């Protein structure tokens, strides 16, 4: 459970709480559909309705941890043992990735899965897997650059993406459990380097920073999944928002709180943020208001704001809380919430993976479902006497 601050206090919408309970019931039904469609030894990625094509992956794919993590979030609310059994089955399949040193996404893969499992049922087995995962992630850190490498590429490049802020929580967990401060120091160094080099003056972020691996100097700033190098890719902005909120929680360093608040300011005052708070896939997409929305960016934003609102003054926090409420309210209905039995069992519709690569465009995505369930869970935690 999230550690709730004593002040400020926020009042939940009782009607929205009922809608959230319905959302979890829909999610339970949907994931039964998804379970039946999922091939053995595979993880879900997305679904292309026009072709009735179901895309899956092996455990090495960066999204593999979201499926068991979502199952666990739903199980916590519905107590459906079938979902817990499925989560445990896929956790067993995922365990081998604790030794995967070829990816920076071990936080997504292992902490969103085993990290949730260990909160429900502490086990030494889970501890060992997460500690090994943290070691594998830390192996990608280079002190010359001051960052964990995101993508392996040409030797003349050292590529770091804003998404990597989401993987640092695993390292903080590892320091708390093992007492080894090296994980903590790597997370802080990475966050500081990213804070210095990834953000523009208006606190929007670049997607990719290419460092010189020998000197640590920035060689280029660009995008991979956004509209343009100087545009603000929506999900990237929310990765930063969420990541620096976690940084403040884990360190209590106010520079991270200020960074998170400034990122929130950029997003919430952006003239291209729609009234329903479900962002366009890029804040600078050329065909706004006809640009595609990205539900996945909205879910990450809602979840982050429900934590960030606890660390701010009441007025600012209320804005964050109200925005998260609006996102949840709008995702809890058509066109975003899938009708039961449709969408191959995924919960949400209308996310955008990477439009420039024409990959996973206007489809359901596992991480949209995951952060939606997380946001709903966090909102329910405000319903207290």
User: Has residue 7 got a pLDDT over 70?
Assistant: no
Query: What confidence tier does 384 reach under pLDDT thresholds 50, 70, 90?
Result: confident
- Do 257 and 384 fall into the same domain? yes
- Do 243 and 369 fall into the same domain? yes
28 is in an annotated binding site: no
Could you report the per-residue pLDDT of 69-105, keeping only the tens digit for each?
999 999 999 999 999 999 999 999 999 999 999 999 9
pTM of the model: 0.97
Residue 323 lies in a domain: yes
Cα torsion 244, 246, 252, 257: sign: positive
The last residue of a domain, from among 139, 156, 188: 139
What pLDDT is recorded for position 363?
Answer: 98
**Active-site entry in 163, 284, 294, 369:** 163
- Do 33 and 104 fall into the same domain? no
Backbone angles phi, psi at 137, to 5 degrees: -65, -45
- Do 93 and 133 fall into the same domain? yes
- Do 270 and 369 fall into the same domain? yes
Task: Tell me which residue range forms the domain holding 252.
Answer: 6-37+233-385
What pLDDT is recorded for position 9?
Answer: 86
- Do 28 and 103 fall into the same domain? no
The last residue of a domain, from among 83, 111, 139: 139
Rounded Cα distance, 72 and 69, in Å: 5
Could you report the per-residue pLDDT of 140-188, keeping only the tens digit for each?
999 999 999 999 999 999 999 999 999 999 999 999 999 999 999 999 9
User: Has residue 212 got a pLDDT over 50?
Assistant: yes
Rounded Cα distance, 36 and 342, in Å: 13
Please enumerate in sequence order all residues whose Cβ is within 8 A of that of 382, keeping only pairs 6 or more positions apart, or say none: 4, 10, 12, 306, 321
What are residue 44's DSSP bridge partners? 56
Residue 178 lies in a domain: no
Residue 162 lies in a domain: no
Residue 197 lies in a domain: no
Residue 173 lies in a domain: no
Q: Which residue has the tokens 């595979």?
A: 42
Burial of 244 from C-beta contacts in 10 A (0-12 / 13-18 / 19+): buried
229 is in an annotated binding site: no
**Active-site entry in 23, 28, 80, 105:** 105
Could you report the per-residue pLDDT of 270-323, keeping only the tens digit for each?
999 999 999 999 999 999 999 999 999 999 999 999 999 999 999 999 999 999
Share of the chain above pLDDT 90, in %: 97
The per-residue pLDDT of the chain, averaged, comes to 96
What pLDDT is recorded for position 8?
Answer: 72
92 is catalytic: no
150 is in an annotated binding site: no
- Do 28 and 63 fall into the same domain? no
105 is catalytic: yes
Counted domains in the chain = 2
Residue 294 lies in a domain: yes
- Do 247 and 344 fall into the same domain? yes
239 is in an annotated binding site: yes
- Do 247 and 366 fall into the same domain? yes
The stretch 252-257 carries a mean pLDDT of: 98
Residue 158 lies in a domain: no
- Do 26 and 135 fall into the same domain? no
The stretch 26-37 carries a mean pLDDT of: 97
232 is in an annotated binding site: no
Query: What confidence tier does 351 reach under pLDDT thresholds 50, 70, 90?
Result: very high
Specify the length of the chain in residues.
385
- Do 13 and 126 fall into the same domain? no
- Do 33 and 75 fall into the same domain? no
- Which CATH number does the domain housing residue 353 bear? 1.50.10.10
DSSP characters for 141-170? EETTTTEE--B---TT-EEEEGGGGGGHHH
105 is in an annotated binding site: yes
Which 3-state string (H, E, C) describes 7-74?
CCCCCCCHHHHHHHHHHHHHHHHHHHHHHHHCCCCCEEEEEEHHHCEEEEECCCCCCCCHHHHHHHHH
Contact of 306 with 375, CB cutoff 8 Å = yes
User: Has residue 5 got a pLDDT over 50?
Assistant: no
Could you give the residue ranges of the DSSP H alpha helices within the chain?
A: 14-37, 66-78, 81-94, 106, 114-120, 124-138, 168-178, 181-197, 234-251, 254-268, 295-308, 314-331, 366-380
The stretch 366-376 carries a mean pLDDT of: 98
Rounded Cα distance, 293 and 312, in Å: 29
């Amino acid at each position: 459970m999230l550690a709730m601050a004593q002040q400020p206090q926020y009042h939940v919408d009782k009607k929205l709480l009922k809608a959230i309970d319905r959302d979890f019931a829909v999610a339970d039904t949907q994931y039964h559909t998804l379970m039946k469609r999922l091939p053995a030894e595979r993880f879900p990625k997305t679904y292309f309705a026009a072709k009735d094509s179901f895309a899956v992956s092996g455990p090495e794919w960066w999204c593999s941890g979201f499926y068991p993590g979502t199952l666990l979030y739903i199980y916590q609310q519905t107590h459906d043992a079938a979902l817990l059994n499925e989560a445990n089955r896929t956790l067993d399949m995922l365990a081998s990735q604790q030794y995967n040193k070829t990816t920076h996404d071990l936080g997504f893969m292992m902490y969103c899965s085993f990290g949730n499992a260990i909160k429900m049922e502490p086990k030494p087995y889970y501890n060992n897997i997460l500690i090994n995962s943290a070691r594998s992630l830390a192996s990608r850190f280079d002190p010359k650059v001051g960052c964990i490498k995101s993508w392996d590429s040409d030797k003349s490049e050292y590529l770091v993406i804003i998404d990597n802020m989401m993987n640092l929580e695993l390292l903080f967990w590892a320091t708390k459990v093992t007492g080894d401060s090296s994980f903590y120091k790597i997370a802080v160094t990475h966050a500081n380097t990213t804070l210095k080099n990834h953000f523009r003056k208006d606190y929007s972020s670049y997607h990719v920073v290419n460092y010189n691996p020998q000197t640590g100097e920035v060689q280029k700033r660009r995008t991979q999944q956004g509209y343009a190098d100087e545009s603000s890719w929506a999900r990237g902005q929310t990765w930063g928002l969420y990541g620096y909120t976690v940084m403040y929680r884990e360190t209590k360093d106010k520079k991270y709180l200020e960074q998170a608040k400034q990122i929130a300011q950029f997003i919430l005052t952006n003239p291209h943020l729609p009234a329903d708070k479900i962002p366009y896939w890029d804040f600078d997409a050329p065909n706004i208001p006809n640009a595609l929305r990205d539900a996945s960016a909205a879910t990450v934003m809602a979840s982050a704001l429900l934590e960030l609102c606890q660390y701010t003054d009441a007025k600012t926090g209320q804005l964050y809380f109200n925005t998260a409420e609006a996102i949840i309210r709008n995702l809890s209905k058509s066109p975003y919430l899938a009708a039961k039995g449709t969408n191959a069992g995924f919960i949400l519709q209308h996310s955008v993976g990477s439009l420039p690569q024409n990959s996973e465009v206007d489809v359901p995505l596992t991480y949209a479902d995951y952060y939606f369930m997380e946001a709903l869970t966090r909102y329910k935690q405000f319903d207290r006497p």
